[in-house]
Protein backbone atom coordinates (compact mmCIF):
# COMPACT_ATOMS: atom_id res chain seq x y z
CA UNK A 1 0.00 0.00 0.00
CA UNK A 2 1.60 3.33 -1.02
CA UNK A 3 2.11 6.04 1.55
CA UNK A 4 -0.06 9.13 1.32
CA UNK A 5 1.91 11.75 3.27
CA UNK A 6 -0.07 14.50 4.94
CA UNK A 7 1.54 17.88 5.44
CA UNK A 8 0.23 20.89 7.37
CA UNK A 9 1.66 24.37 6.87
CA UNK A 10 1.08 27.31 9.23
CA UNK A 11 2.16 30.93 9.03
CA UNK A 12 2.96 32.98 12.15
CA UNK A 13 3.74 36.61 12.87
CA UNK A 14 6.14 36.81 15.81
CA UNK A 15 7.43 40.02 17.41
CA UNK A 16 11.23 40.22 17.67
CA UNK A 17 11.16 40.10 21.47
CA UNK A 18 9.36 36.73 21.37
CA UNK A 19 11.21 35.13 18.45
CA UNK A 20 13.65 33.08 20.55
CA UNK A 21 10.86 31.58 22.68
CA UNK A 22 8.79 30.95 19.55
CA UNK A 23 11.66 29.08 17.87
CA UNK A 24 12.14 26.96 20.99
CA UNK A 25 8.44 26.04 21.05
CA UNK A 26 7.81 25.57 17.32
CA UNK A 27 11.15 24.26 16.06
CA UNK A 28 11.90 20.64 15.11
CA UNK A 29 12.84 19.71 18.70
CA UNK A 30 10.47 22.14 20.37
CA UNK A 31 7.44 21.75 22.57
CA UNK A 32 5.06 21.11 19.69
CA UNK A 33 7.32 18.50 18.11
CA UNK A 34 7.64 16.70 21.46
CA UNK A 35 3.85 16.47 21.65
CA UNK A 36 3.61 15.30 18.03
CA UNK A 37 6.30 12.64 18.58
CA UNK A 38 3.99 10.87 21.03
CA UNK A 39 1.77 9.94 18.09
CA UNK A 40 2.20 7.26 15.48
CA UNK A 41 2.85 8.56 11.99
CA UNK A 42 4.54 11.85 12.87
CA UNK A 43 7.60 12.33 10.63
CA UNK A 44 8.96 15.73 11.68
CA UNK A 45 8.63 19.48 11.69
CA UNK A 46 10.51 22.16 9.79
CA UNK A 47 10.54 25.82 10.83
CA UNK A 48 11.39 28.61 8.40
CA UNK A 49 11.91 32.35 8.92
CA UNK A 50 11.17 34.80 6.12
CA UNK A 51 14.38 36.43 4.82
CA UNK A 52 12.58 39.66 3.93
CA UNK A 53 10.33 39.86 6.99
CA UNK A 54 12.01 38.34 10.08
CA UNK A 55 8.75 38.53 12.06
CA UNK A 56 7.18 35.98 9.70
CA UNK A 57 7.63 32.23 10.23
CA UNK A 58 6.26 29.10 8.57
CA UNK A 59 6.04 25.63 10.09
CA UNK A 60 5.69 22.46 8.05
CA UNK A 61 4.57 19.32 9.88
CA UNK A 62 4.93 15.95 8.17
CA UNK A 63 2.68 12.95 8.87
CA UNK A 64 2.58 9.57 7.16
CA UNK A 65 -1.14 9.93 6.47
CA UNK A 66 -4.20 12.00 7.18
CA UNK A 67 -5.44 9.12 9.34
CA UNK A 68 -2.34 9.38 11.54
CA UNK A 69 -2.88 13.13 11.90
CA UNK A 70 -6.57 12.70 12.73
CA UNK A 71 -5.77 10.00 15.29
CA UNK A 72 -3.23 12.34 16.90
CA UNK A 73 -5.73 15.23 17.05
CA UNK A 74 -8.34 12.96 18.61
CA UNK A 75 -6.09 11.23 21.13
CA UNK A 76 -4.18 14.35 22.18
CA UNK A 77 -6.98 16.93 21.87
CA UNK A 78 -6.68 18.16 25.45
CA UNK A 79 -2.88 18.45 25.35
CA UNK A 80 -3.07 20.18 21.96
CA UNK A 81 -5.57 22.74 23.23
CA UNK A 82 -3.55 23.41 26.38
CA UNK A 83 -0.31 23.88 24.45
CA UNK A 84 -2.04 26.08 21.89
CA UNK A 85 -3.29 28.31 24.70
CA UNK A 86 0.15 28.42 26.34
CA UNK A 87 1.86 29.36 23.08
CA UNK A 88 -0.72 31.97 22.04
CA UNK A 89 1.30 34.70 23.78
CA UNK A 90 4.30 34.00 21.52
CA UNK A 91 2.61 35.24 18.35
CA UNK A 92 0.69 38.25 17.12
CA UNK A 93 -1.05 36.21 14.43
CA UNK A 94 -1.25 32.69 13.07
CA UNK A 95 -3.09 31.13 10.18
CA UNK A 96 -3.16 27.79 8.47
CA UNK A 97 -1.82 27.95 4.92
CA UNK A 98 -3.27 24.54 4.15
CA UNK A 99 -2.84 20.82 4.13
CA UNK A 100 -0.92 19.18 1.33
CA UNK A 101 -0.33 15.80 -0.24
CA UNK A 102 2.42 14.46 -2.43
CA UNK A 103 1.88 15.72 -5.99
CA UNK A 104 4.70 13.83 -7.69
CA UNK A 105 4.07 10.13 -7.10
CA UNK A 106 7.18 9.11 -9.05
CA UNK A 107 9.33 9.76 -5.96
CA UNK A 108 9.35 7.77 -2.76
CA UNK A 109 7.21 9.26 -0.01
CA UNK A 110 8.74 10.65 3.15
Q: Please report the pLDDT score of residue 101 as a whole number.
A: 85
Q: What is the 3-state secondary structure (H, E, C) of 15-48?
A: CHHHHHHHHHHHCCCCHHHHHHCCCCCEEEEEEE
Q: What is the average per-residue pLDDT within 3-14? A: 92
- Checking if the pLDDT of 10 tops 70, the result is yes
Question: Global pTM?
Answer: 0.89
* CA gap 37, 34 in Å, rounded: 5
Regarding the domain delimited by 6-100, which CATH topology (the fold level of the hierarchy) does it fall under? Alpha-Beta Plaits (3.30.70)
Amino acid sequence: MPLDPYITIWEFTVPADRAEAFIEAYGPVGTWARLFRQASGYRGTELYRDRENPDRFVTIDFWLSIDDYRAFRSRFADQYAALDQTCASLTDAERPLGTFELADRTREAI
